[in-house]
């Protein structure tokens, strides 16, 4: 069953074969696998248990419910926003459902650098197929394009740029466009609907509103997790929860997992934990058309442009993915427009705006440290090469928007750069500075902070997710990747969840 803060009326002790921290794309399949193998499982989840009727489609209500720090999480200097979800189901509650498995070129690169003896191409491919089947992933078609995505497709095609329809895990989607605020229509085949539901049906106990504070250790052995139940609004500590478990799997995301491990004082001889964070950062270029687009409506991201992305051939240095990007009024208003009359001028065209986001397969290495008992402290700013990729993405995004018929294009710097013809793009956008607090840089795919590899001297976990320096402590989330993967990570994360879950079961 799923319990929330209301159910916990005193300090509690629970015992289980496995304690999983975090119920998102990584943790949910771990729990489901262990339950399917007949193991007893307790899942601790910091966020609430939200049901479809709780998704009100209002930004000011849903940001606090579904996002850590109410959507305000950012790097320490607040120059890069880092959106991460919370709630039973983790970031899959509000994500956009786009499904891309790990590119094999990235896996080959990882294997060359780190071995990964338990993860060959055949194993990975079989895992991706299994995940896609369980999540009901299908390829979208022309009928699924909303106006923003049609603009991207038509503009890219006019310029001869490659691209294609994306695959998504949705069933019965009515194209309301509110995905990033949670789906009231239960159309998302996400971690909650698919894996947590299976785990609970098989007897798992899920504690929502419950924050793991530290993994307890007896020498090399993880013995469980100490946690607290917190008030969902105020964050006040209500009660303590102790889980005694034969194995612990930390799946709290690429920021919270390393923070929890560090807070727990696990052995880390190379001081590696948290030291290799990638964020897959993105920004946005927008345009006003002379016709209504209502870009907030319909499936938000159905088509991709790969003109600037080649993950197979590194020598080309094409690391920028172009995708439609739109949000609801507060989201768009705070990124795009200035204030007062300037704001009104842009927002009066809200119905006619389309936007494209370049996202960079980053080489920049950041780090994440614990902040207090519950928080994370992220240090990251894209290096010059990654900023150049972002700039290139803005240039090509602007070209695409103009090719699709935009009347004017804007790069929303503090002093916005406006362009009305393709001839001006290189001159006006090709050399823009990308400076802290001058442009919106947002990351929704943090990864690679507790990465896997065969050598304990150069990696944190083995390729079954087992932490190298403890016997029965595992990691299963985006932390595990040795590098950025250059694409959205949910499919790879679900797959790693199954893979690690099976490895854990084999040890119990």
Partner 1 sequence: MLRLGFHDTAGVDDLEHLSAGGGSVLRSVVDTVLPPDANRSREKLTEHVRFIDGYLVGMDPADLAQLGWLLFGLEHGTILAGKLRRFTRLPPADRADVLQEWRTSSIGLRRLGYRSLAALGILAFYRDDEAFATIGYPGPLMREGWVGPAEAAARYDALLAPADAEPGSAA
Ligand X SMILES: Cc1cc2nc3c(=O)[nH]c(=O)nc-3n(C[C@H](O)[C@H](O)[C@H](O)COP(=O)(O)OP(=O)(O)OC[C@H]3O[C@@H](n4cnc5c(N)ncnc54)[C@H](O)[C@@H]3O)c2cc1C
d(CA 268, CA 248): 17
Task: From the list ligand X, ligand SF4, partner 1, none, pick the one residue 135 interacts with, judged by a Cβ distance below 5 to 8 Å according to partner type.
Answer: none
Torsion 169-175-180-185 (CA) sign? negative
Q: How far is CA 264 from CA 312, 444, 465, in A?
A: 39, 26, 18
Tell me the closest approach of the beta carbon of residue 490 to ligand SF4, in angstroms: 14
Name beta bridge partners: 323.
304, 357
3-state secondary structure of 336: helix
Task: From the list ligand SF4, ligand X, partner 1, none, pick the one residue 188 interacts with, judged by a Cβ distance below 5 to 8 Å according to partner type.
Answer: ligand SF4
Report the residue number, 52 or 72, with the smaller CB distance to ligand SF4: 52
Report the residue number, 255 or 389, with the smaller CB distance to ligand X: 255
The contact pattern for ligand SF4, residues 157-176, with x = CB under 6 A and - = no contact, is -------------x--xxxx
Report the residue number, 251 or 283, with the smaller CB distance to ligand X: 251
d(CA 45, CA 388): 38
3-state secondary structure of 447: strand
Can you tell me which residue has the tokens 């402290």? 377
Q: How far is CA 429 from CA 156, 208, 379, 426, 436, in A?
A: 18, 46, 27, 6, 17
d(CA 260, CA 252): 8
Tell me the closest approach of the beta carbon of residue 107 to partner 1, in angstroms: 35
Instruction: Count CB-CB contacts under 10 A for residue 83.
Output: 22
Task: From the list partner 1, ligand X, ligand SF4, none, pick the one residue 94 interacts with, judged by a Cβ distance below 5 to 8 Å according to partner type.
Answer: ligand X
Least Cα distance to 498 among 95, 47, 131, 48 occurs for: 131
Task: From 360-368, 394-402, 457-465, 483-491, give the range in contact with ligand X by CB under 6 A.
Answer: 483-491
φ/ψ of residue 36, rounded to 5: -60, -25
Q: Tell me the DSSP string of 389-406.
A: HHHHHHHHHHHHHHHTT-
The contact pattern for ligand X, residues 177-196, with x = CB under 6 A and - = no contact, is ---x----------------
Task: From the list ligand SF4, ligand X, partner 1, none, pick the one residue 477 interacts with, judged by a Cβ distance below 5 to 8 Å according to partner type.
Answer: ligand X
Tell me the closest approach of the beta carbon of residue 505 to ligand SF4, in angstroms: 32
Task: From 92-100, 145-153, 307-315, 351-359, give the range in contact with ligand X by CB under 6 A.
Answer: 92-100
Report the residue number, 123 or 138, with the smaller CB distance to ligand SF4: 138
Torsion of CA 461, 466, 468, 472, to 10 degrees: 150
Report the residue number, 339 or 457, with the smaller CB distance to partner 1: 339
Q: Choosing from 445, 468, 469, 499, which is the catalytic residue?
A: 445
CB 48 within 8 A of CB 23: no
* Subset of residues 295 to 334 that bind ligand SF4, contact rule: CB under 6 A: 299
CB 368 within 8 A of CB 378: yes
3-state secondary structure of 496: helix
Least Cα distance to 303 among 161, 136, 170, 142 occurs for: 142
Task: From the list ligand X, ligand SF4, partner 1, none, pick the one residue 241 interacts with, judged by a Cβ distance below 5 to 8 Å according to partner type.
Answer: partner 1
Tell me the closest approach of the beta carbon of residue 215 to ligand X, in angstroms: 10
Task: From the list partner 1, ligand SF4, ligand X, none, pick the one residue 391 interacts with, judged by a Cβ distance below 5 to 8 Å according to partner type.
Answer: none
The single residue among 65, 73, 86, 230 that binds ligand X, judged by CB under 6 A, is 86
Task: From 42-50, 55-63, 383-391, 450-458, give the range in contact with ligand X by CB under 6 A.
Answer: 42-50
d(CA 420, CA 352): 15
- Distance, C-alpha 441 to centroid of its chain: 15
The contact pattern for ligand SF4, residues 176-205, with x = CB under 6 A and - = no contact, is xxxx---x-x-xx-----------------
Task: From the list partner 1, ligand X, ligand SF4, none, pick the one residue 175 interacts with, judged by a Cβ distance below 5 to 8 Å according to partner type.
Answer: ligand SF4
CB 79 within 8 A of CB 441: yes
Tell me the closest approach of the beta carbon of residue 348 to partner 1, in angstroms: 7
d(CA 243, CA 10): 14
| Residue 96 engages ligand X in binding (rule: CB under 6 A) | yes
Question: Up-side HSE of residue 237: CA atoms within 13 Å toward CB?
Answer: 12
The CA angle 103-183-282, to the nearest 5 degrees, is 45
* Subset of residues 212 to 271 that bind ligand X, contact rule: CB under 6 A: 212, 251-254, 256, 260
Tell me the closest approach of the beta carbon of residue 108 to ligand X, in angstroms: 21
Tell me the closest approach of the beta carbon of residue 399 to ligand SF4, in angstroms: 28
- To the query of whether residue 83 is one of the catalytic residues in this protein, the response is no
The single residue among 25, 80, 284, 505 that binds ligand X, judged by CB under 6 A, is 25
d(CA 396, CA 136): 33
Tell me the closest approach of the beta carbon of residue 314 to ligand X, in angstroms: 22
Binding site for ligand SF4 (CB under 6 A): 170, 173-179, 183, 185, 187-188, 299
Looking at the annotation, which residues are catalytic?
Answer: 445
Binding site for ligand X (CB under 6 A): 21-27, 44-47, 83-87, 90-92, 94-98, 180, 211-212, 251-254, 256, 260, 444-445, 477-478, 488-491, 493
């Amino acid at each position: 069953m799923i319990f929330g803060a209301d159910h916990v009326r005193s300090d509690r002790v629970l015992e289980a074969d496995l304690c999983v921290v975090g119920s998102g794309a990584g943790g949910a399949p771990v729990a489901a696998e262990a339950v399917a193998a007949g193991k007893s499982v307790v899942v601790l989840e910091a966020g609430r248990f939200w049901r479809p009727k709780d998704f009100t489609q209002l930004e000011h209500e849903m940001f606090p419910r579904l996002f850590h720090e109410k959507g305000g999480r950012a790097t320490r200097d607040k120059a890069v926003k880092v959106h991460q979800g919370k709630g039973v189901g983790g970031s899959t509650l509000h994500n956009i459902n786009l499904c891309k498995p790990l590119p094999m070129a990235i896996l080959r690169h990882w294997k060359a650098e780190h071995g990964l003896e338990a993860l060959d191409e055949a194993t990975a491919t079989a895992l991706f197929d299994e995940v896609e089947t369980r999540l009901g992933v299908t390829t979208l078609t022309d009928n699924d394009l909303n106006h923003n995505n049609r603009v991207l497709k038509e503009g890219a095609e006019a310029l001869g740029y490659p691209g294609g329809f994306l695959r998504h895990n949705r069933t019965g989607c009515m194209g309301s466009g509110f995905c990033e605020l949670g789906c009231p229509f239960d159309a998302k085949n996400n971690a909650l609907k698919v894996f947590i539901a299976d785990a609970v049906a098989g007897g798992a106990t899920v504690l929502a509103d419950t924050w793991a504070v530290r993994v307890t250790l007896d020498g090399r052995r993880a013995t469980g997790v100490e946690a607290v139940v917190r008030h969902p609004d105020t964050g006040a500590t209500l009660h303590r929860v102790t889980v005694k478990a034969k194995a612990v799997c930390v799946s709290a995301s690429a920021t919270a997992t390393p923070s929890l491990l560090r807070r727990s004082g696990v052995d880390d001889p190379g001081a590696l934990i948290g030291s290799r964070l990638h964020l897959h950062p993105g920004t946005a270029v927008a345009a006003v058309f002379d016709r209504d687009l209502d870009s907030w409506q319909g499936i938000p991201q159905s088509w991709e442009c790969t003109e600037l992305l080649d993950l197979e051939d590194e020598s080309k240095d094409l690391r920028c993915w172009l995708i439609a990007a739109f949000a609801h009024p507060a989201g768009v208003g705070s990124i795009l427009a200035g204030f007062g009359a300037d704001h009104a001028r842009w927002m009066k065209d809200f119905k006619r705006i389309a936007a494209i986001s370049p996202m960079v397969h980053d080489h920049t290495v950041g780090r994440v440290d614990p902040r207090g008992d519950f928080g994370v402290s992220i240090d990251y700013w894209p290096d010059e090469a990654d900023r150049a990729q972002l700039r290139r993405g803005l240039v090509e995004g602007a070209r695409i928007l103009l090719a699709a018929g935009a009347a004017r294009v804007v790069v929303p710097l503090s002093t916005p750069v406006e362009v009305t013809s393709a001839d001006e793009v290189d001159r006006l956008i090709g050399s823009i500075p990308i400076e802290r607090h001058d442009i919106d840089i947002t990351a929704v795919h943090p990864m690679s902070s507790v990465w896997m590899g065969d050598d304990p001297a150069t990696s944190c976990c083995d390729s079954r997710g087992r932490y190298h320096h403890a016997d029965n402590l595992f990691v299963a989330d985006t932390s595990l990747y040795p590098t950025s993967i250059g694409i959205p990570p949910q499919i790879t994360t679900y797959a790693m969840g199954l893979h690690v879950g099976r490895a854990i079961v084999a040890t119990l």
